[in-house]
A and B are shown apart, each in its own frame.
Chain A
Amino acid sequence: MNAKKNGNKELPKHTISIYVANKPGVLMRVAQVFARRGFNIDSLVVSESQDSRFSRMTIVSTGDAETLEQIIKQVSKLVDVLHAKDHSGEDVIEREYALFKVETPTEKRTEVLQIVEHFKGQTLDFGEDYLLIGISGATEKIDASFELFKKYGILEVVRSGKMLMARGREET
């Protein structure tokens, strides 16, 4: 589940948390380290941290572990980066939020609402033939709801990308 097929090789997915100085250009610098080594960024969340001078990035990327080690070192080396950590395989809290606009003819509405309820989602907008649904949870949960909504026809989906926080007192 946590891997992407690439040719014959199974390439693992990584979740990396980066703590950076909140300065213009820092996102470009970080993104360049990935792009130069041919790593695609699957998702990226950036926002201000508890201290407005710093921002938190959570990046999900796919690729071989050795190149990733190099990427993390190169990212850590950037002057504006305080630290970068690969949290893959660690017991951390991961969350994602997704908005779905699902095709919902009147006769299917109950079915769709049952799915929303099952995933503890919210109905955010209600139309004659569609529903706008918000669901939060681990990426796997969002993936599962995505699969179920597909059956009815997904008009649009917007996903926040994965966010992550280390458990206990450990720094993310």
Chain B
Amino acid sequence: METKSLSGAEVLIECLKEQNVEYIWGIPGGVTIPIYDALVDSGIKLILVRHEQGAMHAAEGYARATGRPGVVCVTSGPGATNTVTGLLNAYMDSAPVIVITGQTVTSMLGKDAFQEGDIFGMTLPVVKHSYLVKDANDLPRVMKEAFYIAQTGRPGPVHIDIPKDVATSPCTVPLNAEMDLPGYKPRDLEDFDREEVERIAGALRRSKRPVLYVGHGAVISNACSELMKLATTLHAPVVNTLLGKGAFPEDHELSLGMFGMHGTVYANKAVSECDLIFSIGGRWDDRITGKLSEFCVDAVKIHIDIDPAEINKIIRPDYYVIGDAKHVLRELNKHISRLDTDDWWRKIEKWRNKFPLKCSKKGGLKVPYIVDTLYRLTKGEAIIVTDVGQHQMWTAQFYKVHKNRSWISSGGAGTMGFGFPAALGAQFGRPNELVVAIVGDGGFQMTMSELATMMNNNLPVKIIVMENRYLGMVRQWQELFFDNRLSGVDLTGNPNFALIAKAYGCKSFRIRRNADVERTLKEAIEYKGPCLIWAELIKEDNVFPMVPAGAPLSKMIISPPKSAPTEIAAKPAKRRRKPRSEEK
């Protein structure tokens, strides 16, 4: 028996190669030097970022664009704590990300050693699972388990903390270790309650006004063709969540687009008046249900989810199946036929005609027109990555996503700063496709140091910076619900984004008028390399339709109110109205 004795770090890298890892995002530090050393001749490409948060979002962008786990390797202490935001994001949005952190030597654990931080303890609530490896001989098993856990069932981030001495000490066990996971048994994809599926088919047959509600689970399980068959066979309307975009083509006549807080009027009206709502991998998030006690009160509720803990968490479904959306729908499709939804569609078409999404050039340069133009120019085929805020909602409304895994946005966590590094990760994963990062001026400034990463790797990402010099979504809420008393939202002091780009050697374009939009976007898209498009917007514009937080979907504000809609708003105490000094 001959086992070549590798160090823990070398074994770690061998295990990553075994998993076909192409890239690692990270920044080294004292305790990860052995791991970074083992990376040198490994063939795995190390992407040096400028901040660990950037590494996390890039890895998640890669994971969501490809379906393969993204891997991050950072040092102990502050290097590790900088991954926490990214872990929360990946956890909330069910993304397979593997985070390897260095740790102080085992003999110093708990003794406040230099750059020691209890990252294992700190990250417990935001990981699917985690390890503190205390013996190099555990590494082959731990690595195998980590990749398995991250990708199976409901995907999620897995964290592995490796003390420096574990990375340097020899590993004497074979690399093909057995997993030891007695408490983790993701179901076989074909293992679900088929009788319940038949009952769901029965409920669908009885429905006159069904709505198919598509969530992120449908995207993750790639249930696209099954979903298409389901919707077209039933002839039922399809609505999607923010993260469900792409599983069903939004330009399809059966698609009503996004529903929820900033969904289309016709999607929200359909959900409000349906007699059956069928969640396919959606978790009934508060941003889409509105006031829960008034959500689809009389409708039959159906829920398919791979995570048993999602069943009965928010609503009590009349029927549910725990399973993978693709496989469950494939079975369901055997039992369905066309429904008589003609009356239902007449109603929906009336709403669709009466309340279309409006994108006008009136009143200056605004996000909807830019996004709508981008949609036309790219024919809905680009990979769109957004940050968080107003621009995100407008992009969700106006960029109809045609293909699966071509929409990446921070949903559950709402992480500002996510968009740009996530777009870099998506471009790494799909190098031959057009990736557009649509970001606000607030969020972009949180992670724009990754411009260096983009330039070093010559990633041809197109960044559109939507600059309104406000933290716009908060400003919108303050205007609508806090008597326009603006607090902490003024971004006066923004840099000149063209000069920022130039400083990194990045090409830039500038859009200042509606007349510039089409020509400039076209030029930027045709440009071969990375570029930044700086769009100087009018300062004040609001996202509508809008369902105020805590209101039912039926109480949505359809268009800009003449005065503050106090009857709908969660009313703050009467306040003095302050003159809008920031306004020009």
Contacts and interface: CB of A to CB of B under 8 A. Distances in A.
B183 A25 contact: no
Contacts of B149: 79
A77 B121 contact: no
Given A25-B132, A82-B183, A76 B308 contact: yes
A34 to B, nearest CB: 12
A116 interface: no
B125 interface: yes
Interface in B121-135: 121, 124-125, 128-130, 132
Interface in A64-96: 66, 69-70, 73-74, 76-82
7 contacts: A25-B120, A25-B132, A32-B124, A73-B311, A76-B309, A78-B183, A79-B129
A85 to B, nearest CB: 14
Nearest to A51: B182
Interface of A: 20-21, 24-25, 28-29, 32, 36, 53-54, 66, 69-70, 73-74, 76-82
A138 B307 CA distance: 37
Interface in B145-196: 149, 181-184
Looking at A29, A77, A81, the one whose CB has the most chain B CB atoms below 10 A away is: A77
Nearest to A69: B312
A172 B513 CA distance: 70
A73 B309 contact: yes
B313 interface: yes
A61 B422 CA distance: 41
B405 to A, nearest CB: 25
Contacts of B181: 79
Interface residues of B, number: 19
A32 B313 contact: no
Contacts of B313: 70, 73
Contacts of B311: 73
Contacts of B130: 25
B183 A81 contact: yes
A54 B125 CA distance: 22
Contacts of A28: 121, 124
A70 B539 CA distance: 44
Contacts of B183: 20-21, 78-82
Contact of A74 (B120, B184, B309): B309
Contacts of A21: 182-183
A78 B156 CA distance: 12
Given A25-B120, A25-B132, A53-B182, 14 more contacts: A20-B183, A25-B121, A25-B124, A25-B130, A28-B121, A28-B124, A32-B124, A54-B182, A73-B313, A74-B309, A76-B309, A77-B308, A79-B184, A81-B183
Contacts of B307: 77
Contacts of B124: 25, 28-29, 32
B182 A73 contact: no
Contacts of A53: 182
B182 A82 contact: yes
Interface in B420-476: none
Contacts of B309: 70, 73-74, 76-77
A24 B121 contact: no
Contacts of A20: 183
A24 B109 CA distance: 14
Contacts of B121: 25, 28
- Those 4 A-B pairs whose CB atoms lie nearest each other, nearest first: A73-B309, A79-B129, A82-B183, A79-B184
A98 B313 CA distance: 38
B308 A36 contact: no
A20 B182 CA distance: 9
Nearest to A36: B125
A32 B127 CA distance: 12
Nearest to A81: B183
A55 B151 CA distance: 27
A120 to B, nearest CB: 38
Nearest to A72: B309
A29 B184 CA distance: 15
Nearest to A31: B124
A77 to B, nearest CB: 5
A126 B519 CA distance: 95
A85 B121 CA distance: 26
B187 to A, nearest CB: 13
A32 B123 CA distance: 11
Nearest to A29: B124
Contacts of B132: 24-25
Contacts of A32: 124-125
A32 B120 CA distance: 13
A66 B183 CA distance: 24
Nearest to A28: B124
